[in-house]
Structures are given as structure tokens and as C-alpha cells.
């Protein structure tokens, strides 16, 4: 935002939805760096799973994971970095969590019957059962920008972000995305009331949401893939057709980052990252899969600037 300009608040309704990240998608809105944007988002099923009897297998997979947008950010050019500050995620009154026997989940081939949990959200708690209440940890499964090349379905992730399902894409954190096309064309959705690392049974609590965020454009820095910053940690986001490939991608990005930022040899950076970093899976039940490599900030005595 230019000095002296007032911050504006823009609202984007969930009628502005896309099913793939695509440089040809017309913008739903144009915003300036520093603007606050309030975005209404569908759940990943577009609201089609409302009861335990609604069958997720009957849904059109080409219409899954709608994202609201895209948002054209003034001044964002290829080679820049888009900083997305997640300020707040407000959730609907209930969510759904279906199983996908024979299709998705690490136990998809086990003899487990179809099942869908519909759970209300009351006073910050997910009432899974009368005897099981889960604290809400709202996050976005899908947050990304348009790739430079061919369109990519919102079901998948890539260097542009999108369906990573990292639980750290949550309020209080900043997500840094490489910019590939003018305006970046940011889109988001697929909120969860809670999700486990790995999304091991193929769903968190899928819920509609209203997301409040602000955006900044960072010049003079670049990223190959997304990074996430929390108050205490920073993370690189890798992906690959296997989890080994995704882990190597995220770790290599972290080694590159630490080597460049702290003037280390590659061997020393690899040694440090391997000694204190953590591997946390995001979307691990599909190919490609997503992994984030996590480093603590407190070990760097002089602080660390991200990205």
C-alpha cells in the first residue's frame, strides 16, 4: 500500500468460484497490497454433504474443492512473492467428514464400511459425540495462485500451492507464494474445523468458511514454492508423486534457504536442518502428496527473515 493511502476492505462472495488454478480465470476482484479481504468459501463438497446418508462417491470429482477467487493483486508480477496474512477464519455451524472405502485413505483397502460423520460446531468445540469434544483448529486446505503453464485442478498441489492441506495454513500465520502471472490470481477454500497431519483418512472436518486476510507484494525476493511462517517456526512446502519425493523437495528447499540466509556450506546447512527440523505431512493420501519441512526460529540468535 502506498504511504498516505487508506486501507480498504473488500468482500468476495462464494458465488465467485473456480475449480482449477488457471491464468485465464477472470478476476473476481482487484485489490491493492495492504488491503483487507473478506472471502466467503464453500467446503470442499460445495455443500453437497449435509447428512450421514449423502454419498461422497456420487459427487462429480470435477466439481470438488471449489475455491473462491481469483483475486488480482495490483503490482504482483512474475518473480515476486505474495505474502498472505491469515487474520481470521470463521466457520459454519457444522461440518462433514466422510470415509472413502476402496478409494482414498491409508486404510482404503481394509474392510471398513462407508461412514460419514456430521458434527456441529458449538462455542469453539466440534461435538464429535456427546463424550468427544474437539477444540476447533480452523485452517485452509487450499490456498494458491495461478501457475504459469497449464491449468491445475484444485484437487492437486504444486509449486503454486493449492490443495496442500497443511494445518499451519491457519490464522496468525503468513503464507508466502511465488508469483507466476501478473496479479498472482490468488484463490482459496476447503476449510477444515480440524485436520490431522497427513489427512490420513482423506478428510478433516470439512466446513464452509469466511476468511479474513491481507496481502502484500514482496519485491526483490523469490521463491520456488510456498513457505509458511508462524510466530515460532518457518516451513518450506514440498510436493511429489511419492511422500519420499515430497519430503526431499521440502527438505532441499529448507537446506537451500538456510544455506543462503546464514552463509553456510551446503553440508553444514544439511547437517543443521536434519538435526533440528521436523517433517510434517499435509495431503499424504493422494498423488501428488504434500510435505512441509519445519524449523524453529529460536535457535537463530540474530533472528531470521522470511522469505
> Can you tell me the mean pLDDT for 181-202?
97
Show the cell assigned to 58. Answer: 456420487
The confidence score (pLDDT) of residue 2 equals: 45
The confidence score (pLDDT) of residue 55 equals: 83
Residue ranges covered by each domain of the chain = 9-155+173-218
> Can you tell me the mean pLDDT for 250-269?
98
pLDDT grade for 3, boundaries at 50, 70 and 90: very low
pLDDT grade for 63, boundaries at 50, 70 and 90: confident
Whether the CB-CB separation of 166 and 290 falls below 8 Å is answered with yes
Show the cell assigned to 60. Answer: 462429480
CA 153 – CA 304 distance, rounded (Å): 34
Mean pLDDT across the chain:
95
The confidence score (pLDDT) of residue 5 equals: 53
CA 113 – CA 115 distance, rounded (Å): 6
Q: Say which CATH architecture domain 9-155+173-218 belongs to.
A: Sandwich (2.60)
The confidence score (pLDDT) of residue 179 equals: 98
pLDDT grade for 7, boundaries at 50, 70 and 90: low
What does the chain come to in residues? 307
Model confidence at 137: pLDDT above 70: yes
Whether the CB-CB separation of 16 and 57 falls below 8 Å is answered with no
The confidence score (pLDDT) of residue 43 equals: 97
* pLDDT tens digits along 16-42: 999 999 999 999 999 999 999 999 999
* pLDDT tens digits along 139-188: 999 999 999 999 999 999 999 999 999 999 999 999 999 999 999 999 99
Whether the CB-CB separation of 250 and 273 falls below 8 Å is answered with no
What pTM, to 2 d.p., does this model score?
0.95
> Can you tell me the mean pLDDT for 264-279?
98
Amino acid at each position: 500500500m502506498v504511504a498516505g493511502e487508506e486501507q480498504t476492505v473488500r468482500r468476495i462472495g462464494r458465488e465467485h468460484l473456480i475449480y482449477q488454478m488457471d491464468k485465464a480465470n477472470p478476476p473476481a476482484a482487484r485489490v491493492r497490497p495492504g488491503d483487507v479481504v473478506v472471502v466467503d468459501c464453500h467446503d470442499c463438497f460445495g455443500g453437497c454433504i449435509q447428512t450421514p446418508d449423502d454419498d461422497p462417491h456420487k459427487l462429480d470429482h470435477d466439481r470438488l474443492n471449489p475455491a473462491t477467487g481469483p483475486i488480482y493483486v495490483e503490482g504482483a508480477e512474475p518473480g515476486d512473492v505474495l505474502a498472505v496474512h491469515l487474520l481470521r477464519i470463521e466457520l459454519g455451524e457444522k461440518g462433514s467428514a466422510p470415509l472413502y472405502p476402496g478409494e482414498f485413505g491409508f486404510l482404503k483397502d481394509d474392510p471398513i464400511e462407508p461412514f460419514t460423520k456430521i458434527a456441529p460446531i458449538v462455542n469453539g468445540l466440534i461435538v464429535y459425540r456427546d463424550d468427544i469434544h474437539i477444540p476447533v483448529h480452523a485452517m485452509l486446505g487450499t490456498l494458491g495462485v495461478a501457475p504459469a503453464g497449464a491449468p491445475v485442478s484444485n484437487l492437486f498441489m504444486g509449486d503454486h500451492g493449492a490443495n496442500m492441506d497443511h494445518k499451519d495454513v491457519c490464522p496468525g500465520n503468513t503464507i508466502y507464494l511465488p508469483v507466476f502471472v501478473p496479479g498472482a490470481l490468488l484463490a482459496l477454500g476447503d476449510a477444515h474445523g480440524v485436520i490431522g497431519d497427513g489427512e490420513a483418512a482423506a478428510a478433516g472436518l470439512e466446513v464452509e468458511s469466511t476468511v479474513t486476510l491481507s496481502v502484500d507484494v514482496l519485491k526483490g525476493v523469490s521463491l520456488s514454492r510456498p513457505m509458511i511462517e508462524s510466530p515460532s517456526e518457518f516451513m518450506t512446502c514440498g510436493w511429489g508423486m511419492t511422500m519420499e519425493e515430497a519430503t526431499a523437495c521440502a527438505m532441499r528447499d529448507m537446506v537451500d534457504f538456510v544455506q543462503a540466509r546464514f552463509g553456510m556450506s551446503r553440508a553444514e546447512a544439511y547437517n543443521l536442518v536434519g538435526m533440528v527440523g521436523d517433517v510434517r505431512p499435509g495431503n499424504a493420501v493422494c498423488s501428488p502428496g504434500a510435505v512441509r519441512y519445519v524449523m524453529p526460529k529460536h535457535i537463530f540468535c540474530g533472528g531470521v527473515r522470511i522469505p
